[in-house]
Amino acid sequence: MPTGGDDQVYYVISDLHIGGDEQLEEVPFLDELLSFLQRLEQTDEDAELVINGDMFGLWEFTDLEGIEKFDALEETYPELFEQLRRTGENISITLLPGNHDHELVAYDAYRERLAAYNVDLVTDPSITRPVGDRTIHFEHGNQQDPNNRIEDWGSPHATPLGYFYNTMVTSRAGQVSDRGRYNWMKDVQAVTPTEWMPYWMASKYFYREMNPLLRYALLPFLLLFNVSAILALLVGLDYVGLWSTPVNTITAFIGQFGIAGTVVNYLLTYTATVTGLLILLAGIPLYFIRRDIRKTVHRFGLLETDLTVDPDEPYRAAAQEIFEDSPETVIFCYGHTHRPGVQDVDGRLLVNTGTWLKRLHRRDGVTGLLPPVFYPSYQLCTVRIASEDDGIAVEYEEIDKPSPHAEELTLTERLLTLGRAPDPTLPDRTVISRDTGQ
């Protein structure tokens, strides 16, 4: 364990989720991870690498039991384990368990096998580390999440609600992902919050799995739905003789463009007719049904609840308790939610280490009824915590990995997100005073 001198440096990563059934065994960031470990192998800093939970996706192995899962990891990722061995000869490597790899603490053999690769497996849900004359609290974060809290820590039979979601949804997605038109279901772990799952499934069905002829037939109707609804209303007013000016004006304007105008006129007529019929026959009853469903969903807290909107609240509360009980603690460092960030909590820091998994950014349509687009990107990062001249510094370093949108999004999706592509940024360097906690 580090002595906590002024030169002590901690590098923290979390939520790699390495391993799993079939398609889930792919690690798209393996090269970047190996390069990062190689860099630490050469560092002359007094450093420790803290892997803050969910390094492995043990929940995602559904056909293996116990230490068999480690055998599969060794066989699949020999380069990674060999690099851990080499890096661990130069710096300390500490692995905390998360919910996805909680099973690591259920069998002594895991600790022994990891030690052979110079990785110290912690069997407690949290650890502390000195930084200067202050303390950092590390935990994965799942113990603050009621759906993933391990009530009987260390039990090989621990199965919180999240376990069943992963075995029945995540692992199944890994098994069937390559059956689609595009191998996309393996990205199920990147859908956060999980309440977005139905929207993501609908999006990928429409843009990837739907018969292309059917999709392109529906596209103009869905894209122009808002315009068509207004046009249908105007046509209705014209039909009953209440207001003819807008329809006459639109028809005259479109007629100026010859064949192109004829095509546009046909397109608008088609979409307005379908929209008008839908509004007339189904729109009104569906509106009331949808409103009633939303009220019911809200009562049960299934979608867009306060927890979903503010996922950091349980961690702020946990950090406040740690800070009160241990005044020397100035940083509460966790992962689990896959959202990198730094927050001030009573003058101290709440630090989230993010994820190395792909991230999906939802982009709702600006018009019409098109399904949302889930734009993929990576935000690989390591958090460096050190005692420096100006205080205790927390600094994020981004590890470059290009967005895979060109390969993973259809032309339609790329056009719909043109100018709306996400540009996620990591927090700026943050420094907390050495006097904090005194």
pTM of the model: 0.83
**What is the predicted pLDDT for the residue at 305?**
43
**What is the predicted pLDDT for the residue at 378?**
95
3-state secondary structure of 298: helix
**What is the predicted pLDDT for the residue at 194?**
81
**What is the predicted pLDDT for the residue at 306?**
42
Q: Which residue in 57, 153, 164 sits closest to 100, CA to CA?
A: 57
Question: Domain 8-208+311-432 belongs to what architecture?
Answer: 4-Layer Sandwich (3.60)
What is the per-residue DSSP string for 200-236?
Answer: HHHHHIIIIIS-HHHHHHHHHHHHTHHHHHHHHHHHH
- Say how many C-beta atoms besides its own lie within 10 A of residue 357's C-beta: 23
Radius of gyration of the chain (CA): 27
What secondary structure, in 3-state letters, does 37-91 show? Answer: HHHHHHCCCEEEEEEECCCECHHHCCCCCCCHHHHHHHHHCHHHHHHHHHHHCCC
Q: Where are the domains of the chain?
A: 8-208+311-432, 224-300
- C-alpha separations of 384 from 9, 136, 283, 389, 395 in Å: 7, 12, 55, 15, 5
**What is the predicted pLDDT for the residue at 219?**
82
Residue 15 and residue 353: Cα distance in Å, rounded? 8
- Say how many C-beta atoms besides its own lie within 10 A of residue 404's C-beta: 14
**What is the predicted pLDDT for the residue at 265?**
61
**What is the predicted pLDDT for the residue at 216?**
85
Q: Split the chain (438 residues) into runs of 10 and give each run's mean pLDDT.
A: 68 97 94 98 97 96 93 97 98 97 95 97 97 95 94 93 88 87 89 86 91 84 63 56 60 64 62 60 59 61 46 93 96 96 95 96 82 94 94 96 93 90 93 78
Q: Which residue in 136, 211, 162 sits closest to 392, CA to CA?
A: 136
- Cross-strand bridge partners of residue 341: 352
Sign of the Cα torsion 182, 188, 189, 195 reads: positive
3-state secondary structure of 133: coil
- Answer for the pair 57, 163: CB distance below 8 angstroms, yes or no: no
**What is the predicted pLDDT for the residue at 309?**
47
Residue 73 and residue 264: Cα distance in Å, rounded? 57
Which parts of 89-206 fold into alpha helices (H)? 108-115, 161-165, 171-176, 197-204
- Cross-strand bridge partners of residue 120: 94
**What is the predicted pLDDT for the residue at 233?**
57
Say how many Å lie between the first and final Cα of the chain, rounded: 24
Q: Could you tell me whether strands 373-377 and 359-363 are parallel, antiparallel, or unpaired per DSSP bridges?
A: antiparallel
Residue 209 and residue 8: Cα distance in Å, rounded? 52
**What is the predicted pLDDT for the residue at 166?**
87
- Hunting for tokens 């463009």 — which residue is that? 257
